[in-house]
Amino acid sequence: MLDILPIKSKNTVESFLRLDHIQPLGKHHNSIELTEYRLSGDALKIFDEWLSWLIYGGLDDDSELYYLKSELARL
């Protein structure tokens, strides 16, 4: 997913949100730019469910992500 964050930076034009890769960040102070932007509580819950699915290989039957996955599979 490509997004443009509303931050004032000459070097940052676009940001990528990838949910199919997790990778460490470098230790160099310029490798990341911290902002005040955060995921909402609902978005963080979905992300935590996705991360659990990735690590443990399954979803709880009552999770929102399981519901979404099931509904999309029915299409």
What's the confidence (pLDDT) of residue 16? Answer: 64
- For the chain, which ranges sit under pLDDT 70? 1-25
What's the confidence (pLDDT) of residue 71? Answer: 92
Q: What is the pTM of this model?
A: 0.58
The boundaries of the domain holding residue 45 are: 2-23+31-74
> Is 15 in a helix, a strand, or coil?
strand
- Record the tokens describing residue 3, joined without a space: 């997004």
What's the confidence (pLDDT) of residue 23? Answer: 67
Computed from CA positions of residues 52, 56, 27, 32, in that sequence, does the dihedral angle turn out positive or negative?
A: negative
Work out how many domains the chain is built from and give that number: 1
> Is 58 in a helix, a strand, or coil?
coil
Which of 35, 41, 43 minimizes the C-alpha distance to 5?
35
**DSSP H or E run through 31:** none
- CB hemisphere CA count around 2 (13 angstroms): 3
